[in-house]
């Protein structure tokens, strides 16, 4: 079993996925938990009731859905594609944020010094 497969199993059973600073393909399917993607250009496939994702530095993509989704991103571009009952996205350094999909409610905060916010989709509430 490869490192990605064992980490995916760990997320399913424990609710924690801890990656490294490489470019990772992360499959996080389970009831929920925390995903620590760390550095690198990561592609995260998510299917959970509730999940908190820490992406770290790099250009990251989160695809899938969760009833509750929270993403903490630092440096680099962030792309979110899919659906959520509620999504909270916090960007703390430079880079673009784009959301494509549907959400019951969504909150996006960008406190970095550079970058754009893009939203394509539908939400009952957004801020």
pLDDT value, residue 3: 66
| pLDDT tens column, 75-90 | 999 999 999 999 999 9
Per-residue pLDDT tens over the stretch 27-75? 999 999 999 999 999 999 999 999 999 999 999 999 999 999 999 999 9
**Pick from 11-15, 37-41, 96-100: least confident:** 11-15
The full DSSP string for 26-88 is EEEESSEEEEE--SS--EEEEEEEEEEEEEESS-EEEEEEEEEEEEEE-SS-EEEEEEEEEEE
- Return the pLDDT at 93: 96
CA 49, distance to chain mean position in Å, is 14
Phi, psi of 92, deg, nearest 5: -105, -10
């Amino acid at each position: 079993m490869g490192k990605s497969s064992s980490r995916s199993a760990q997320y399913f059973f424990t609710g924690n996925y801890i990656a490294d600073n490489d470019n990772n393909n992360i499959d996080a399917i389970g009831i929920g938990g925390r995903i620590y993607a760390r550095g690198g250009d990561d592609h995260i496939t998510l299917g959970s009731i509730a999940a908190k994702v820490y992406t770290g530095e790099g250009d990251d993509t989160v695809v899938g859905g969760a009833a509750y989704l929270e993403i903490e991103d630092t440096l680099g571009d962030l792309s979110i594609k899919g659906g959520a009952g509620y999504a909270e996205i916090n960007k703390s350094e430079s880079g673009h944020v784009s959301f494509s999909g549907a959400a019951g409610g969504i909150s996006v905060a960008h406190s970095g010094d550079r970058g754009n916010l893009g939203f394509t989709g539908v939400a009952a509430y957004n801020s």
